[in-house]
């Protein structure tokens, strides 16, 4: 899902760049170098209008909504499998307010998706404006536009990686706390990309906020307070996960014959 989201957001940047380069090739800048009837605003607006005809941004927004639902469904199956393995029964876990969580994530991603073309065109206008003022030929500013593409592409990739990690972390927290799980085990990817502060948390227990689990001991290890920066998956580019620690006496789950 992370790779799919990356492809979706990078497609926005590719379309922006392709549209811009096509207009350069059509001598848009050369035809208007005098600046008498053309401005950077008019030129960028023309490129923006052409880009928007394809509906790339709206397609990405629709994809974000689908990915949120897909990730929720996938992680639900995983979570239920973990609980069933611990309790040895099929269970039902109520999920109040999960839809609101998904809606909030989607709303934030709509804003982020729309910001990709907005920031691209803002940078492009600066390049076009300098080109008009300096009499720079369209082909001569192609390198500057490549730089805009590189920056925008990197940001699109960062948004995809970061937001999928955040959604996964938020859903994990919601489901575990709803089920009555009070603390979790921090698990990293155990590779060189794990940041030092997170590597230090590997295998340690952390309380979910408001559960009162901090300071207690489990399996000879102290349960730490909720970590600074948020739970696994929430810090930017975090690939860590929160492994639920099952305490059957405190869980709000139901089996075929009632509460387990």
pLDDT value for 151: 97
Say whether pLDDT at 257 is over 50.
no
Cα-Cα-Cα-Cα dihedral of 33, 39, 42, 48, to 10°? 80
Average pLDDT, the chain: 88
**Domain regions of the chain by residue span:** 2-181, 183-244
Q: 64-111, pLDDT tens digit by residue? A: 999 999 999 998 988 988 888 888 777 777 787 899 999 999 999 999
pLDDT tens column, 163-191: 999 999 999 999 999 989 999 999 999 99
Gap between the Cα atoms of 163 and 253, Å rounded: 29
- Token representation of residue 119: 């920031």
- According to the model, what pLDDT value does residue 43 have? 87
What pTM was estimated for this model as a whole? 0.86
CA dihedral angle for residue 200, residue 203, residue 207, residue 208, rounded to 10 degrees: 100
Of 26-40, 120-134, 136-150, 238-252, which range is least confident? Answer: 26-40
* Per-state percent for the chain, helix, strand, coil, to nearest 5: 60, 10, 30
Quote the pLDDT of residue 140. 73
Residue at token pair 């350069």: 24
Mean pLDDT (whole number) for 36-42? 72
Quick one: what percent of the chain has pLDDT higher than 70? 88
Provide the pLDDT for residue 244: 93
Cα distances from 220 to residues 3, 205, 215, 217, in angstroms, run 39, 11, 12, 6
Q: What is the pLDDT of residues 106-160, one digit of tens each?
A: 999 999 999 999 999 999 999 988 888 887 666 678 889 999 999 999 999 999 9
């Amino acid at each position: 899902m992370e790779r799919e989201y990356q492809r979706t957001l990078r497609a926005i940047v590719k379309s922006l760049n392709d549209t811009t380069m096509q207009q350069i090739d059509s001598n848009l800048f050369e035809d208007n170098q005098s600046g008498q009837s053309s401005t950077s605003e008019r030129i960028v607006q023309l490129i923006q209008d052409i880009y928007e005809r394809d509906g790339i941004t709206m397609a990405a927004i629709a994809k974000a909504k689908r990915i949120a639902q897909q990730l929720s469904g996938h992680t639900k199956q995983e979570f239920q499998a973990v609980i069933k393995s611990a309790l040895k029964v099929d269970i039902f876990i109520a999920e109040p307010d999960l839809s609101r969580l998904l809606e909030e994530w989607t709303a934030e991603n709509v804003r982020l998706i729309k910001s990709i073309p907005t920031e691209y065109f803002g940078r492009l206008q600066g390049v076009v404006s300098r080109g008009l003022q300096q009499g720079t030929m369209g082909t001569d500013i192609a390198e500057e536009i490549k730089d805009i593409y590189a920056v925008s592409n990197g940001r699109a990739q960062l948004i995809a990686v970061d937001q999928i990690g955040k959604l996964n972390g938020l859903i994990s927290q919601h489901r575990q706390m709803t089920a009555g799980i009070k603390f979790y085990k921090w698990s990293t990817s155990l590779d060189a990309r794990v940041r030092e502060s997170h590597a230090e948390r590997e295998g340690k227990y952390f309380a979910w906020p408001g559960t009162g689990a901090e300071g207690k001991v489990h399996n000879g290890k102290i349960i730490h307070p909720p970590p600074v920066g948020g739970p696994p998956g929430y810090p930017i580019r975090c690939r860590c996960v929160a492994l639920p620690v099952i305490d059957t006496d405190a869980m709000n789950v139901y089996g075929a014959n009632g509460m387990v």
